[in-house]
Amino acid sequence: MSDKHKPQPMVDEISDFEVLETAVRELAIEKGLFSAEDHRRWTEYVHTLGPVPAARLVAKAWLDPEYKKLAVKDGVKASLAVGVDWINSPPTGFGTPSDYCNLRVLEDTPKLKHVVVCTLCSCYPRPILGQSPEWYRTPNYRRRLVRWPRQVLAEFGLQLPPDVEIRVADSNQKTRYIVLPVRPAGTEGWTEDQLAEIVTRDCLIGVAVPKPGVTTNEKRPVRPAVHPVHHDH
Amino acid sequence: MSKSQHDRTHHAKKATGIGDPQCFKGEAGSAKFKVGDKVRIRDLPDLFYTRCQVYTRGAVGTVVALVYESPAAEDEAWDNTDKPEWFYSVKFRQKDLWPEYHDVYANDTLETEFSERWLEKA
């Protein structure tokens, strides 16, 4: 019998994970560890996040050599210019508990290309870049990138000449990184908006480089969630 | 060291308006290493927890930045935050980490961070 002919379930199935999520959340609120208001505020904060501020930081740095110097020297201060205060933007007032307050901006040059991973888990510069991709959290990416960066990057469609230094940054402590790629040819005279549009999330991780005309991450299979989050705000 | 109850206000009191690891600034004393120093990663015991990757143990790299002061993760993960130390960003040649790394890509490197306890002069 094919899947098509199976009867539809009468009710939405609730997974063990969802049962436990409700149990933990209700217990924490009942015991006063955090409030329902805290939970809502955090979710709303997360909904404000995405890769746009980091892309804008890169575009600004391409257009302003002084700002680029600041970005490379003090990523936390440079983030303020794109509306991201690593300390005060999160609801805590002391940075997010898991992303900390030490952004570093890794500047690529024609002879140096950075790519970022967290081999120990999935550390990622969420306040300025949003949620990490699923593949970034996989044991596969975490195991392989540090040792075979050229092979992994080639799978992403990115190849660089042998004399270009590929530098892998492993985010293992309190620093989080974004990559400041080289401004591509064919973008002469472009505005900040135009430049920011080609700096995708993948460029900011380092698995892609910006290209005129390419304004989205490369298409890859998307595994659907059973009960997906709806961003209908 | 043992605390009968976790103080749930301590971190917020220390870090609000300041940030983490900014709130530990000045608490680690003088740094043992400086930018440009060659350092070897010590193979300290890692029973229960570490954030010093096994792949770096025994390897020699170069200090490229003193990034901040903070309690080591090996302490902070067990709620011991009273002994901050310096953290260093260290760059390795890939050839020095992976025996099979090809000479064609001799320029390739890897950068990651260590608290001071993990480093010795190379």
- Mean pLDDT (chain A) is 96
Per-domain residue ranges of chain A: 17-45, 50-205
Here the tokens at position A38 are 């805290």
The Cα-based distances of A177 to A50, A170, A171, A201, A228 in angstroms read: 15, 9, 7, 12, 28
pLDDT tens digit sequence for A91-109:
999 999 999 999 999 999 9
Q: Running DSSP on this structure, what letter comes out for residue B30?
A: S
Of A162, A168, A175, the CB nearest to B104: A162
User: Cβ of A93 under 8 Å from any chain B Cβ?
Assistant: yes
pLDDT tens digit sequence for A185-225:
999 999 999 999 999 999 999 999 999 999 999 999 999 99
Cα atoms in the Cβ-side hemisphere of radius 13 Å centred on A199: 28
Chain A CA closest to residue B93: A167
Of A94, A119, A147, the CB nearest to B98: A147
Show the low-confidence residues of chain B (pLDDT under 50).
1
Of B98, B108, B112, the CB nearest to A172: B112
CATH topology classification for A50-205: Nitrile Hydratase; Chain A (3.90.330)
- Whether residues A163 and B20 touch (CB distance < 8 A) is answered with no
With bands split at pLDDT 50, 70 and 90, how would you rate the model's confidence at A233?
very low
pLDDT of residue B48: 98
User: Domains, chain B, ranges and CATH?
Assistant: 31-121 (2.30.30.50)
- Whether residues B98 and A94 touch (CB distance < 8 A) is answered with no
- Residue A2 annotated to the active site: no
Please list, in sequence order, all residues whose beta carbon lies within 8 angstroms of the beta carbon of residue A216, skipping any fewer than 6 positions away.
Answer: A200
Q: For residues A148 and A144, what is the distance between their CA atoms, to the nearest angstrom? A: 6
Cβ-based interface (< 8 Å): residues of B facing A: 8, 11-12, 15-23, 51-53, 55, 67-68, 70, 73, 87, 89, 91, 94, 97-98, 101, 104-105, 107-115
